[in-house]
């Protein structure tokens, strides 16, 4: 049963209100709360381990698939494997995301491995938002360790938008792309940590085929005493183009490490990386204050824009 | 009306105290266009920043519409109708031109047409810019024009522009001058423009020459501008005249 708390989590992580059109799988407290396949997208449970298979037929276009996960039981820990088989010539949107409402003092933890096998000339927009919250007076930790592996077929395009909204005490994110000829991947990562939270994000994009393109845009905000480490890596194994851009805003007593790497194994590989860490610029705050915002509103506006 | 009474600004340096502004008295009537001009490092920008609250004077008072605003912070001054276009505006990763204009207007949701009007006034095409982030992908001139558009969108009773022409190409500058002229003709706003450009100086009701931390001359455009033109290759005659008379 979807409670009011669950509904709020679903809206936060997947913009989901009510029952949407399209394929759907809602995982709640390690169980299947709702499942719905469509003519072109079939969702089935795995027999050998927790998780689902999502099979998208060749030529499926304009369809959306929701697979959010919510946890409202304190102390619950799960490891989930979701596999996506996207056919050729598809154009689909997949909305994942995980929300935890921790109502106790035990650690709630979701570890997930998403593996995408994308055919030729398809477009996939994949978004995932991660969010955690505690019931009043409760201190249970919220932990999420997502792993995403994508095999991108010839001429296919994947846009991956991943956002950690807030409330995740510890996360270790692993993202891997293997890109064939003419394929393109764009990853936008947005991450906020606060309190004593820690976040580590390791990303590797292997541009194997001629004409493959990869772009990583990572923006993060580290507040209070939180710690973040980023390891984005772009590997050019062909005549390809790759660009890694990491920007972090550091606040309070936070610590941020950004260690981008580019690695070329072909003379025609063109790879670029940029990384910057800094506090909010004073002139940005002043400008917004001249527009009538208070210093607090100005800071919030800058952070919201940065993480948008 | 804006009044500055005996405003001074001093900073400490390893070599002792440095006086940036010295006992400035200045009154700017409503709906006038006043240009601050003078040599680099003379104190023009500091004076403008003192009006906006970006710099606090070490001595003296700032009054706006009869209210002593010397102790008010930037936000409170902005809410009382003062706005400021920076000479070197900041960039904002993730904030679009449209969002910035919306923040500037502070009121109801700005329509696309309204945003378009503000951008057109600074020589930018809205379709090309509204959804773009105000980040390093924009040139210095583009960011500068967007900055000026935010002041226009704010629509404050007192608008301060610090060298609006800096970094802007000739064609855009011509458009910008027209905008200042139209604004002035409507007589709805008081404008303080720091500028060295003849086309802007010629629009002014009054020119205030700021040099060496003080106001060395002031008067109507007809009176002051010929003195500036008289000798622009050597020492400024306007400043010289005042100094000689002292």
A293: in domain? no
Q: With beta carbons less than 8 A apart as the criterion, state whether B191 and B51 touch.
A: no
| Cβ contact, residue pair B83, A307, below 8 Å | no
Which DSSP letter does residue B209 get? E
pLDDT at residue B233, as a whole number? 56
Q: Which residues of A touch B95 (CB under 8 A)?
A: 301-302, 305-306, 308
| Cβ contact, residue pair B94, A307, below 8 Å | yes
Q: Which residues of A touch B75 (CB under 8 A)?
A: 289, 292-295
Least confident stretch, A185-189, A210-214, B1-5, B118-122: B118-122
Interface test with A, best of B54, B72, B78, B94 (most A CBs within 10 A): B94
pLDDT digits (tens, 9 = 90+) for A78-129: 999 999 999 999 999 999 999 999 999 999 999 999 999 999 999 999 999 9
Query: Above 80 in pLDDT, residue B232?
Result: no
A297: in domain? no
pLDDT at residue A220, as a whole number? 96
Please provide the average confidence, as pLDDT, over all residues in chain A: 96
Determine the distance in angstroms separating the CA of B106 from the nearest CA of chain A, rounded to an integer: 8
A139: in domain? yes
Q: Give the whole-number percent of chain A exceeding pLDDT 90.
A: 96
Q: Which residues of B touch A291 (CB under 8 A)?
A: 78, 83, 103-104, 106, 150, 154
Confidence tier at B125 by pLDDT (50, 70, 90): confident
Selecting from B54, B103, B150 the residue whose C-beta is nearest the C-beta of A286 gives B54
> What interface predicted TM-score (ipTM) does this complex get?
0.92
Domain range enclosing A11: 4-281
Interface test with A, best of B53, B75, B88, B159 (most A CBs within 10 A): B75
Q: Which residues of A touch B74 (CB under 8 A)?
A: 286, 289-290
Region A196-214: mean pLDDT is 98
Selecting from A281, A292, A306 the residue whose C-beta is nearest the C-beta of B78 gives A292
A280 touches chain B (CB under 8 A): no
Q: Which residues of B touch A302 (CB under 8 A)?
A: 92, 95
Q: Which residues of B touch A243 (CB under 8 A)?
A: none
| Cβ contact, residue pair B103, A247, below 8 Å | no
Query: Above 70 in pLDDT, residue B243?
Result: no
Q: Which residues of B touch A289 (CB under 8 A)?
A: 73-75, 78
A226: in domain? yes
Region A143-158: mean pLDDT is 98
Region B202-214: mean pLDDT is 94
Confidence tier at A1 by pLDDT (50, 70, 90): confident
Query: Above 70 in pLDDT, residue B217?
Result: yes
A303: in domain? no
Overall number of domains in chain A: 1
Burial track B132-161 (b if 16+ CB lie within 10 A, e otherwise): ebbeeebeebbbbbbbbbbbbbbbbbbbbb
Region A273-278: mean pLDDT is 94
pLDDT digits (tens, 9 = 90+) for B62-75: 999 999 999 999 99
Nearest CA in chain B to A296: B75
Selecting from B75, B83, B90 the residue whose C-beta is nearest the C-beta of A284 gives B90
Region A220-235: mean pLDDT is 97
Region B202-220: mean pLDDT is 94
A279 touches chain B (CB under 8 A): no
pLDDT digits (tens, 9 = 90+) for B152-191: 999 999 999 999 998 888 888 899 999 999 999 999 999 9
A163: in domain? yes
Q: Which residues of B touch A294 (CB under 8 A)?
A: 75
A300: in domain? no
A30: in domain? yes
Helix (H, G, I), strand (E, B) or coil at B6: strand
Q: Which residues of B touch A284 (CB under 8 A)?
A: 90, 92
Taking a contact as any Cβ pair under 8 Å apart, which residues of chain A between 200 and 259 contact chain B?
Answer: 219, 247
A290 touches chain B (CB under 8 A): yes
Nearest CA in chain B to A301: B95
């Amino acid at each position: 049963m979807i409670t009011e708390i669950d509904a709020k989590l679903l809206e936060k992580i997947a913009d989901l209100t009510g029952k949407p059109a399209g394929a759907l799988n809602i995982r709640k407290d390690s169980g299947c709360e709702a499942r719905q396949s469509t003519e072109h997208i079939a969702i089935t449970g795995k027999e050998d381990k927790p998780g689902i298979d999502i099979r998208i037929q060749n030529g499926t276009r304009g369809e959306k698939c929701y697979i959010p996960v919510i946890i409202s039981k304190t102390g619950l820990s799960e490891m989930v494997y979701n596999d996506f088989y996207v056919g050729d010539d598809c154009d689909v949107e997949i909305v994942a995301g995980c929300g935890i409402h921790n109502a106790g003092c035990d650690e709630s933890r979701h570890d997930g491995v998403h593996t995408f096998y994308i055919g030729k000339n398809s477009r996939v927009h994949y978004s995932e938002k991660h969010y955690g919250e505690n019931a009043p007076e409760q201190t249970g930790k919220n932990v999420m360790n997502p792993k995403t592996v994508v095999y991108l077929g010839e001429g296919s395009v994947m846009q991956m938008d991943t956002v950690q909204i807030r409330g995740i005490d510890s996360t270790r994110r692993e993202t891997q792309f293997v890109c064939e000829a003419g394929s393109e991947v764009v990853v936008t990562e947005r991450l906020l940590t606060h309190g004593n939270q820690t976040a580590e994000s390791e990303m590797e994009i292997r541009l194997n085929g001629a004409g493959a393109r990869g772009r990583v845009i990572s923006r993060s905000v580290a507040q209070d005493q939180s710690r973040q480490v980023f390891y984005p890596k772009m590997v050019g194994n062909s005549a390809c183009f790759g660009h890694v851009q990491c920007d972090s805003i550091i606040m309070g007593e936070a610590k941020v490490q950004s260690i981008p790497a580019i690695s070329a194994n072909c003379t025609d590989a063109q790879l670029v990386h940029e990384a910057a860490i800094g506090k909010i610029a004073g002139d940005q705050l002043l400008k917004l204050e001249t527009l009538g915002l208070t210093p607090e509103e100005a800071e919030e506006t800058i952070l919201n824009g940065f993480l948008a | 009306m804006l009044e500055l009474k005996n405003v001074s600004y001093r900073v400490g340096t390893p070599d002792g105290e440095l006086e940036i502004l010295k006992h400035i008295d200045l009154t700017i009537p409503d709906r006038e266009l006043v240009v601050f001009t003078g040599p680099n490092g003379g104190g023009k920008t500091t004076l403008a920043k003192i009006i906006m609250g970006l710099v606090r004077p070490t001595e003296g008072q700032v009054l706006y519409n009869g209210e002593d605003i010397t102790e008010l912070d930037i936000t409170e001054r902005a809410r009382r109708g003062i706005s400021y276009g920076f000479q070197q505006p900041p960039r904002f990763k993730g904030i679009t031109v449209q969002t910035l204009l919306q923040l500037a207007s502070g009121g109801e949701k700005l329509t696309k047409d309204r945003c378009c009007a503000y951008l057109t006034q600074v020589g930018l095409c809205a379709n090309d810019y509204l959804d773009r982030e105000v980040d390093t992908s924009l040139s210095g001139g583009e960011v500068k024009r967007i900055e000026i558009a935010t002041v226009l969108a704010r629509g404050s009773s007192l608008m301060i522009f610090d060298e609006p022409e800096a970094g802007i190409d000739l064609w855009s500058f011509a458009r910008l001058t027209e905008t200042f002229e139209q604004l002035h003709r409507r007589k709805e706003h008081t404008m303080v423009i720091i500028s060295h450009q003849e086309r802007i100086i010629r629009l002014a009701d009054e020119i205030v020459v700021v040099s060496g931390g003080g106001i060395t001359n002031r008067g109507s455009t007809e009176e002051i501008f010929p003195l500036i033109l008289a000798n622009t290759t050597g020492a400024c005659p306007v400043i010289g005249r005042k100094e000689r008379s002292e």
